[in-house]
Structure 1
Amino acid sequence: MLLGTFLLLSASAWIPTRPVTPNRITAIAYAIEAGQHQPGWRGGEIPYSWGGGHDEDPGPSLGTCQGYRGSIRPCPATRTLGLDCSGLARWVYHLAYGRDVLGPGNTDDHVKRLKRIPAAAARPGDLVFYGKVGKRKVRTHHVGIYVGQGKMINARRTGTEVRVDRVAAVDDLAGYFRYARAL
């Protein structure tokens, strides 16, 4: 009986408690951008932190200075509780799906787990990547959560908070991508 209960609980952990829709993803992203309390965050604006959001559990965390090339010196990431762009996307999708569907890693790792969609088919809740995504080589450097009307919510760079920007505000758009299990 105990084994059956364990298996049932394990299997149910893979099913989100509410249907995941583009509106749900977008609502969570807007709530985070507005500084509303979320699981793992007490509330308030969330600062950008290089490498932030990449602890074992998704959500704001201290960042790292490894690979940091930002303009603020010395690197503030190891003292800043926050998110970088892929940490934000990972956390939003984790909150929406009830599990870590994007997994650990950076934008290159995340884009490989998603399906490219035409720009005309993009809908709120999709992810917008920047850089190059080819058949053999992936070199991305930024991701945002598309919220419609040519805008995205993103963690842009050191010295800023999670915010809304125009998709066109970042050069070298690689494309729009969707989690395959998304509705």
Structure 2
Amino acid sequence: MKRRSAAAAALLLLTATASVPLGLSVPPLVVRIAYEIERYGIVYSWGGGHGVDPGPSKGTCRGYRGSIRPCPAARTRGLDCSGFTRWVYALAHGEDVLGPGNTDDHLRKMRRVREPRPGDLVFFGKVAKRSVRTHHVGVYLGGGQMMNAPETGAVVRIDTIKKKKDFAGFYRYRR
């Protein structure tokens, strides 16, 4: 599996710079990889991207609350929002730094920042001193935009941060 992940990472890195929009001056590796993944039109799948290794996988219908019935996740190979950010960060850092958990688990590996930079993660939900209850995450691209796997029936895409409710803040990976 590691060899396959390394080959996928190498392929993405070789082509990542070609798909980044002009006007960005050498964006961070996280952003370049996110743009490359977007090119592939990977579909959303609830629970997708949480296999042993990061990357597209079949999802699960456990906990599914989407609008498409019956739940398509168990037969759909794709990514959910945290599966997408997990894969992007694994490719950028050379290892699975976020792990297989959900958005709450991933946020705990980050530190909140006031001044976001492209490549930081943007979380949605409720974050308090004693509790974390997030429901969405995306890769911050700059200019109020994020790359994300938004919902069942969609593909990995760019959305404005304001389009989602419950903005919880920008977070940077703790090294």
Q: TM-score, normalised by structure 1?
A: 0.81
Aligned-pair identity in percent equals: 63
Correspondence for 2:140 among 137, 146, 155:
146
Other structure's SS at 2:28 match? helix
Q: Report whether the alignment pairs 1:100 with 2:96.
A: yes
Correspondence for 2:106 among 110, 113, 132:
110
Map 1:34-183; keep pairs closer than 5 Å.
34-35=39-40, 45-118=41-114, 121-181=115-175
Shift of 1:169: 0.7
One-letter amino acid of the structure 1 residue matched with residue 103 of structure 2: T
Note if contact 1:102-1:110 (Cα within 8 Å) is conserved in structure 2: yes
**CA-atom RMSD, angstroms?**
1.5
Identify unmatched segments of 5+ residues in structure 1. 1-16, 36-44
**Count of residue correspondences:** 152
Per the alignment, residue 32 of structure 1 pairs with 37
Change in 2 beyond 3 A, CA 1:113/1:22:
farther
One-letter amino acid of the structure 2 residue matched with residue 138 of structure 1: V
Please give the per-residue CA displacement for 1:102-154, whole angstroms capped at 9, x wherever unaligned: 01110010001100011xx1010000000011110000000000001100000
One-letter amino acid of the structure 2 residue matched with residue 51 of structure 1: G
One-letter amino acid of the structure 1 residue matched with residue 82 of structure 2: S
Q: TM-score, normalised by structure 2?
A: 0.84
CA distance in structure 2 between the aligned counterparts of 1:31 and 1:152, rounded to whole angstroms: 14
Per the alignment, residue 7 of structure 2 pairs with none
* Divergent runs of 4+, >4 A: none
CA distance in structure 2 between the aligned counterparts of 1:174 and 1:55, rounded to whole angstroms: 26
Shift of 1:164: 0.2
Structure exhibiting the larger radius of gyration computed from Cα positions: 1
One-letter amino acid of the structure 1 residue matched with residue 169 of structure 2: G
Identify unmatched segments of 5+ residues in structure 2. 1-9, 14-25
CA distance in structure 2 between the aligned counterparts of 1:23 and 1:127, rounded to whole angstroms: 13
